[in-house]
Amino acid sequence: MNLPGKNDYIDVHTHDCAGQADGIFTVESLLAHEEKGPDNIPGLLYTIGIHPWYLNEENHDRLISRVMATADDPLVIAIGEGGFDRLRGPSPDLQRKTFEEQVSVAEDHKKPVVIHCVRAWDELVRSHKRLRPAMPWLVHGFRGKPDLALQLISKGMYISFWFDFVMRPESARLIRSLPKERIFLETDGSGVDIRDIYNKVSADLEITIDELKSVINKNFKEFFKLK
């Protein structure tokens, strides 16, 4: 398995990765309702999951079957993104059932979970308490308050910042408030350059780009349990 080098920029969550730029290591989020599968490409690994936006009663069985069938692929290093969305998606009961099924797949394969959560933090925390997972969870696209982020981190979760929010000056307070060993950076398929995000966050943290690369690289290996 190819792993990020110590000088790589790591984009921990993106979609529709068309090509790899030198010096950038990417984790592409595959969605179970789509047909695309993992390819063995240098600098690229994958997650596979059921996004709540594309879930319904009719396709549930097919989608969870695809996640189960793909989960043991060595190029797939996590399950997700899956989770909860109060603004879009099926019933809360179906979202919870499907998320917890994905967590079960992750636990069986000893892989972590990447989470989509919109205005449903209580559901997420309840699921974590009920399931007591051995594998870590990463909340992607976070743009909430420091108190919420620290609550999630206290439960063993990691935080990846929303690409648009992290570039704003007001994000500095959140960035500085969190333990560096629990953060990731992402583009989420937005077209934003991950190197620009690193530049902004390194300035907020008052560390060099190389120091930030070292932090994220270590977090990557710890979270994904890769050596």
Tens of pLDDT, residue by residue, the chain (227 residues): 789 999 999 999 999 876 678 899 999 999 999 989 999 999 999 999 999 999 999 999 999 999 999 999 999 999 999 999 999 999 999 999 999 999 999 999 999 999 999 999 999 999 999 999 999 999 999 999 999 999 999 999 999 999 999 999 999 999 999 999 999 999 999 989 999 999 999 999 999 999 999 999 999 999 999 86
- Main-chain phi, psi angles of 7, to 5 degrees: -100, 5
pLDDT of residue 18: 64
Distance CA 221, CA 209 (A): 18
Residue with tokens 């592409």: 28
Q: Please check whether residue 160 is in contact with residue 138, taking contact to mean a CB–CB distance below 8 angstroms.
A: yes
Distance CA 33, CA 47 (A): 13
Distance CA 98, CA 75 (A): 23
Domain ranges of the chain: 17-224
Q: Determine if the pTM surpasses 0.85.
A: yes
Residue with tokens 């989420």: 188
- Main-chain phi, psi angles of 137, to 5 degrees: -115, 145
How would you classify the pairing of strands 44-49 and 76-85? parallel
Provide the residue type at 223 as one letter.
F
Alpha carbon distances (Å) from 77 to 18, 114, 220, 223: 19, 10, 11, 10
3-class state of residue 107 by DSSP: helix
pLDDT of residue 67: 98
Distance CA 114, CA 176 (A): 23
Q: Please check whether residue 121 is in contact with residue 148, taking contact to mean a CB–CB distance below 8 angstroms.
A: yes
The residues facing 111 across adjacent strands are none
- CATH for 17-224 is 3.20.20.140
Distance CA 193, CA 73 (A): 28
Helices 60-70 and 92-109: angle between axes, nearest 10 degrees: 20
3-class state of residue 76 by DSSP: strand
pLDDT of residue 19: 63
pLDDT of residue 23: 95
Q: Please check whether residue 140 is in contact with residue 188, taking contact to mean a CB–CB distance below 8 angstroms.
A: yes
pLDDT of residue 35: 85
